[in-house]
Structure 1
Amino acid sequence: MVGRARRIMLWGAFSVLVLVASGLLLADHLTPPSTGAPSYALPLAADHTALDRELAPLLARNPGKTGALTLIDGIDAFAARAMSARQAGRSLDLQYYIWHDDLTGRLLAREAWTAAERGVRVRLLLDDINSGGKDTALLVLDGHPNIEVRLYNPFRNRSGIARLLEMLQRGFSLNHRMHNKAWIADGRVAIVGGRNVGLEYFSASKSSNFHDLDLLLFGPEVAQASAIFDAFWNSEAVVPLSDLGGLGMDDIRAVLEAIGDEARTPAAQRYLQRVESSPTVRAYLDDALAPHWSGRIRVISDPPVKRPGDDSSGWLVEHVDASLRSAQRAALLVSPYFVPGEDTSAVLTGLAADGAHVGVITNSLAANDVVAVHGGYAKYRKRLLAGGVHLYELRPEAAGDGGTDTAADRPRSGPMGSSSGASLHTKAFLVDETRGFIGSYNLDPRSAWLNTEMGVFFDDPGLAADLRAEYLHLAGPAISWKVGLDADGDLAWLDAAGPEPRLLQSEPEASRWRRLQALVFRHLPLESQL
């Protein structure tokens, strides 16, 4: 019996080895080929669409400058996307790592469909790692004559055991994902930042909402966002969804009914009422918004394909590294998945040693939705603190407003998920008084070398003031614990939210099981993948 079990295990291990080896040898043949016809952003017009006409006087008063508004509140972030889609008359270019099939995802899909019905060209580009099981709804969208859906680095096998086996076989190539987030309307308005599409990103979940941040841009730099989208859309890593599957008429009718009915449900009506009552929406309707205008705003992205050994001089990691190294007085960082490694740890402690104030806000173990990442971060805490870096970790109960989710929408619990009430998802930093970054880039090896990322660099006192205010809010005692070292050099967490400050000696509000998981991941050789 023992011998038989051993033979089964050996044959299983051999099969996996053969599968992975074949993936390495035949990677170019196993990866679906890029077959989509090239297409590009449509040319702008002076007064062709409502957005053209609305922005013309603003742009005329601020020649050569890009306008920017920070979108901190999830309701405002949803409203900006929905309202720009409703006003679009030419094009919608949408690029996301995650687009959940939940209330907010379906409402925004409905906005895209409605725009296409008006004749707007819609291009939807999604990373395929999170698209499993969603082909039916996406193919229905793709079936509209004015909508095309493409997938980044897709699986040939769309579901079931075959998809799992392909993940094993093509594990190395599938490890590279598109983490970009962009919503571009008419080539006039671009929303770039940290948010994906889903309940938890738009303050619509009862169980777990993210603290997140976007920038709404209009003006010259939107053209750069469009150029980045075109580079990805036409890249070798992107495949039309229609080349990977098809639909029957029953599927199409069912999805179209769902798209049409979603906005009339009580849950949708409650959420849309919250959107309509947003102070930012009211200010927009009253023409009272006050954007920051600047000639020093740049949208920057990684190339569509990042391979080991490629020249990385233009990659986002190099821009981030140069910006942080240039700090003289302060570097304030917000990163939900913070794995600084040896190099970034040395940069931050070096800045602190030179007299700069260096602060980092990240997720606590209890709030982190990826325990493995916390394990990768934890080993650097003492070194950073001893080197003069200020660390803050988000409390899990620092939740945003509740919403309208179901049990199926709630985050998973386990090594790759958390059932916490709140989590940090903002990815930003501020250097000295005026320079900063807001985007999709985490300060971790995955963002640096594996995923593609994008974001906005700025040198503007108004945007810097907005980001500084958000940093101070997130670092406050109601939102975060301040981490330090006690007299014995051990970690301690200051809980100053109550009437009497308390010093906690172990990972606050994290179960023993999560602590054990983090400890295990801390000692596994996984840092390059985090």
Structure 2
Amino acid sequence: MADSFVLEQRQKHLEPDSPYAAFSLLNTGRDAFLVRAALIEAASHTIDAQYYIWNDDPTGRYLAGRLIAAADRGVKVRVLLDDMNAAGDDALFATMDSHPNIEVRIFNPVRPRSGVGRWFSLLANFDRVNRRMHNKSFVVDGAAGITGGRNIGDEYFDEDPAVNARDRDVLMLGPLIGPLSDSFLAYWNNGRTYPVSHLYEPEVALDAEVRSRLVAESTEQLSFHAQPARGQQAAQTFLEGRFEALIPAQAELVFDPPPADFEAPANTPQPSAKALYRLAASAESEILIESAYLILTDDQLDLTHGFGNDELSVVAFTNSLVTNDLVTNHSGYARWREEMLRQGMELYELRPDAQGCRNWIVENGACGGQGLTLH
């Protein structure tokens, strides 16, 4: 793939036959936003984006506008979204999809797209509808990528004044981009994935003028806390510094593929769960867990017997009731909290009223505090 800045960076920082990939954690939402924006500006040939949520809000519209601008210069863009949160934003995705260089597809969609009829359809097809795509990936020119827990939206990028979803993902170069692309294609080519143009009503389809307006919005003076690099040269300069800081390491990418049978029971352990079991079983001195929803089944709790002994400590960080955005999930965790403590696990819960957390909120101005949640 000639004339790709991102591919040149991969060749610069990694030997062609090296088994190592190179990584950098994206710990803050603002950093995650800036890197994604810069990768879009630096793209020369292709961008593949896969997300559970893409909000029609300032950061979501900004990144959509920059993807359209990339498509204007010839970059082929594919956007893959889960239907559960996409239905309300059909107009945004229809606008993107109307560009000849952009294709948007929706995984496991439900009709109707809105109203009471949609809720009846959700209930009538619960087994199928319950199979959602939580996978998240962002791959540019087949050479650099981002994967992790963040969706696209203000609350994930420290830009929502009311809600801040604390999350984490990783920027990477190297051989793991191949498996990351395989994960994307497994859903993109699935029989339950449909072009967005097959789903929205005709009046939602928007024209080139609206696309141009979306691009224009993304070039105006921005009110974001984090100001993205403007233009290809500025983006490349920004990314050069990020790629220089990457840490090489051997790694394995694990993802859960779409189900072969959407009507089958959903309680079979998936590849990611099996990989976590193997990783935990190989621990010698310490296991550190950060999870928004720390819910263990009876069998999983049985596996933790002995984890809290003198040789192996288990420390877990999760949401408190006040920071959990799903009370039902918190009740699943709270049910086993005392048992986990009895087995020697150390448990820590996110509290927006804790002094350290309050200091962080004041320093970063990310949200009002009560909207803080661990994702």
TM-score by length of 2: 0.88
Answering whether residue 206 of structure 2 is matched by residue 256 of structure 1, we say no
- Aligned letter for 1:55? R
* 1:422 alignment partner AA: L
Q: Distance in 2 between matches of 1:328 and 1:166?
A: 49
Residue of 228, 250, 256 corresponding to 1:302? 256
Quote the offset at 1:273 in angstroms.
Answer: 2.8
Distance 1:286 1:303, change over 3 A: closer
* Aligned residue in 1 for 2:291: 335
Alignment of 1:208-357 (within 5 A): 208-248=163-203, 251-252=206-207, 255-256=210-211, 258-263=213-218, 268-273=222-227, 284=239, 286=241, 289-294=244-249, 296-305=250-259, 307=261, 308=264, 315-353=271-309, 355-357=311-313
Distance 2:44 2:228 in 1: 26
CA distance in 1, matches of 2:92, 2:340: 46
What does residue range 101-500 of structure 1 map to in structure 2 within 5 Å?
101-248=56-203, 251-252=206-207, 255-256=210-211, 258-263=213-218, 268-273=222-227, 284=239, 286=241, 289-294=244-249, 296-305=250-259, 307=261, 308=264, 315-353=271-309, 355-397=311-353, 398=357, 400=361, 401-402=364-365, 420-425=370-375
Name the residue aligned to 1:461: none
Separation of aligned partners in 1, 2:204 and 2:105 = 21
Q: Deviations over 1:299-322 (max 9, x none)?
A: 111111165469957621111112
User: What SS does the corresponding residue of 2:87 show, helix, strand or coil?
Assistant: coil
Contact 1:92–1:120 (CA<8 Å) still a contact in 2? yes
Contact 1:283/1:289 (CA < 8 Å) preserved in 2?
Answer: no
Report the equivalent of 1:88.
43
Aligned to 1:441: none
Establish whether residue 79 from structure 1 lines up as the match of residue 29 from structure 2. Answer: no
Q: CA distance change for structure 1 residues 270 and 196 in 2, over 3 Å: closer, same or farther? A: closer
Q: Which residue type is aligned with residue 100 of structure 2? A: P
Once the two structures are TM-superposed, the CA of residue 291 in structure 1 deviates from its matched residue by 1.1
* Structure-2 change in CA distance of 1:196 and 1:389 (3 Å): same
Alpha-carbon distance in structure 2 between the residues aligned to 1:52 and 1:262: 29
Work out the CA distance in 2 between the residues paired with 1:57 and 1:236: 39
* Contact 1:352–1:389 under 8 Å retained in 2: yes
Amino acid at match of 1:424: L
Provide the rounded CA distance (Å) in 2 between the counterparts of 1:120 and 1:204. Answer: 28
Q: Tell whether 2:5 aligns with 1:54.
A: no
Q: Is the 8 A contact 1:62 1:293 kept in 2?
A: no
Q: Is the 8 A contact 2:229 2:238 kept in 1?
A: no
How far apart are the structure 1 equivalents of 2:105 and 2:16?
A: 38
Seen in structure 2, the aligned counterparts of structure 1 residues 376 and 258 have a Cα distance that, compared at 3 Å, is farther
- Alpha-carbon shift at residue 212 of structure 1 (Å): 1.2
Q: How many pairs are equivalent?
A: 362
Deviation at 1:282, TM superposition (A): 7.9
- Of the structure 1 ranges 76-85 and 253-262, higher mean CA displacement relative to structure 2 is found in 253-262
Over the residues paired in the alignment, what is the CA RMSD in angstroms? 2.7
What secondary structure is seen at the aligned counterpart in 2 of 1:60?
A: coil
Structure 2 distance, partners of 1:366, 1:318, is 31
How far apart, CA to CA, are the structure 2 residues paired with 1:269 and 1:179? 30
- CA-CA distance at 1:161 after TM superposition: 2.0
Q: For residues 251 and 285 of structure 1, what CA distance do their matches in structure 2 show?
A: 37
Deviation at 1:257, TM superposition (A): 5.4
Deviations 1:422-466 (A, max 9, x none): 1111xxxxxxxxxxxxxxxxxxxxxxxxxxxxxxxxxxxxxxxxx
Q: Could you list the runs of 5+ residues in structure 2 that have no partner in the other structure? A: none
1:367 alignment partner, SS class: coil
1:281, CA displacement in angstroms? 9.8
CA contact (8 A) 1:328 1:351 kept: no
Q: TM-score, normalised by structure 1?
A: 0.63
Q: CA deviation at 1:270?
A: 3.9
- Residue 235 of structure 1, CA deviation: 1.0
Give the secondary structure class of the aligned counterpart of 1:134.
Answer: helix
The separation in 2 between residues aligned to 1:259 and 1:325, in whole angstroms, is 50
Structure 1 stretch displaced more, 123-132 or 59-68? 59-68
CA–CA distance in 1 between the matches of 2:143 and 2:16? 16
Between the aligned partners of 1:311 and 1:421, the Cα distance in structure 2 is 32
Contact 1:263 1:269 in 2 (8 A): no
What are the Cα deviations for residues 167-197 of structure 1, in whole angstroms up to 9, with x where unaligned? 1211221011000010111111110101001
Q: Deviations over 1:129-158 (max 9, x none)?
A: 001221111111111111111111001211
Q: Is 321-330 or 85-94 further displaced after alignment?
A: 321-330
Indicate if the aligned counterparts of 2:9 and 2:243 stay in contact, CA closer than 8 A: no
Bigger Cα Rg: 1
